[in-house]
Structure 1
Amino acid sequence: MRKRLWRLRSNPLRRHDDVVEAWIVLVVGAVILVGGALAGFVTSHAADEAFSAQRTERHSVRAVLLTDTPSPTAGVGSRDLIKAKVRWTTADGTGRTVSALVNTGRKAGSKVVVWLDSAGNSTIEPPSSKETTLESAVLGLTAALAFAGLAFGTGAAARYRLDRRRIDSWGTEWDLVGPSWGRKTS
C-alpha cells in the first residue's frame, strides 16, 4: 500500500504534477465506482419501468385469421411473423378487423392471439418478466461500462497532458543543464 500512495507522501523529489496526477487517479476511480453504479442503476430502473408500462398497456385478444399466411421460410424457423387480416369481437359486441402480426403457415379461419396497445392498434407481444429482467440488467451494465469508459478516457487524457507537460519541462531543464556536462560529441 505504501508504494501506491508514494505521490501523496512528503518527498523532496515529488513535483506538483505528481500530486495532481495522484488526485486525478483517485477522483477517476471514485467517479468510475460511484458514477458507473449510479448510471447502471438508473438505466436499469428506467428500462424496467418502460417494459412494465408495455406489459400494462398491451393486452391480447383472440381473433380469427381472414387470409392464409405463407409457409415459414426455410432455415429461419417456424416463429416468423407476418401481417395478416384478422377479425374479433370487442366486449361491446362490435366486430373489428385489422392487420396484425401472426405466425406464418396458418390457414384462414384459424384462431390466433393478437396483441393490441391501449389505442387498439396492433402491436407485438410485450416481453415477459424474465426477458425484461435480463434486458434491464444488460442495459444497466452497458450504461455502467460506457460511463466508466468515458471517465477512464477523460482521466487518461488528463494524465497524458500531465506527461506531456513533464516531458517539456525536462527538455527545458536539460537545455539549461546539458551544456555544463562537458564536451559535446557533435
Structure 2
Amino acid sequence: MRGAQGARQWCWRWRRNPLRRRDDVFEAWIVLIVWMVMVLGGTVAGLVTAHAADTSFTRLRHDRHAIPAVLVESSGAAVPAGEGAVYDQVRAKVRWTAPDGSARTGRALVESGHKAGARVVIWMDTKGRLAGAPPTAGAATAEASLLGIGAAVSLGGLVFGAGSLARWRLDQRRYDRWAREWERLGPQWGHKTP
C-alpha cells in the first residue's frame, strides 16, 4: 500500500487536482524529457563518441609504421613533466633510408639518453612524413572511453542547464501571476488597521 501512495505522491503533477495548474503539468513534462534526454541521449552520445575515437585510433595505428633510424646527435636527458613524472622522449636529429633508397634526415621523437650513432625507432605516416608513435590498443581504448564519458557528461550538463533555465522561467511566470492575484485580491481581505 505504501508503494502505491509513494507513486501517487511522485506523480502528483499528472493527477487530477483542482489546484493543479497548466504550468505544473508543463514542468512535469520538462523534468521527464530532461531526464530521458540526459540518460538516453548521454548514452548514445557517449557510445558514438567512443566508437568514433576508437575507429580514429585504429586508423592511426594502421597508417603509421615504425622504421629504423640512426641518431645524428645525442638525444639528451629526460625532461621532467611535473611531480615525479618524467617524459622520456625528446626531439633529436635522425637519419633514415626512405623507401626509394635515398638517405633522409629530420627531427623526430626518440627515447632520451642515447648517443649519436645509436639505432632508434621512428614512426612515419603513409605520406612518408615523420610522426609520433600511435597509441597502443589499451591506451586507445582508455582514451576512447574517457572521450565517450566526457561527451555523455557534457550533453547531460547542457540538457540539465536548459531544463533548469526552462523551470526558472516557469517559476518567474508563477511569481508574476501570484503578484497580480495578490494586487487584485489583497485589498478585499478586510479592514485595515489604523
The answer to whether TM tops 0.5 is yes
TM-score by length of 2: 0.88
Q: What amino acid sits opposite 1:111 in the alignment?
A: R
TM-aligned CA deviation for residue 92 of structure 1: 4.8
Unaligned 5+ segments in structure 1 are none
- Residue 131 of structure 1 deviates from its aligned partner by 0.5
Offset, 1:35: 1.0
Q: TM-score, normalised by structure 1?
A: 0.92
In 2, Cα distance between equivalents of 1:117 and 1:87: 16
Task: State the alpha-carbon separation in 1 of the partners of residues 140 and 112 from structure 2.
Answer: 26
Question: Is 1:24 aligned to residue 30 of structure 2?
Answer: yes
Structure 1 position 76, deviation (Å): 5.3
Quick one: which amino acid aligns to residue 55 of structure 2? E
Displacement after TM superposition at 1:93 (Å)? 3.6
Map of 2:11 onto structure 1: 5
Instruction: State the SS of the aligned residue for 1:100.
Output: strand
Partner of 2:151: 143
1:59 and 2:65 are equivalent in the alignment: yes
Q: How does 1:1-186 map to 2 (within 5 A)?
A: 1-73=7-79, 77=86, 79-185=87-193
* Superposition deviation, residue 109 in structure 1: 1.0
Q: What is the identity, as a one-letter code, of the residue corresponding to 1:132? A: A
What count of residue pairs does the alignment treat as equivalent? 185
Alpha carbons 2:79, 2:90 under 8 Å: kept: no
State how far apart, in whole Å, the 2-side matches of 1:93 and 1:159 are: 69
Query: Unaligned regions of 5+ residues in structure 2, if any?
Result: 1-6
What code does the residue aligned with 1:129 have?
Answer: A
Identical-pair percentage: 49
1:27 Cα deviation from its structure 2 partner: 1.0
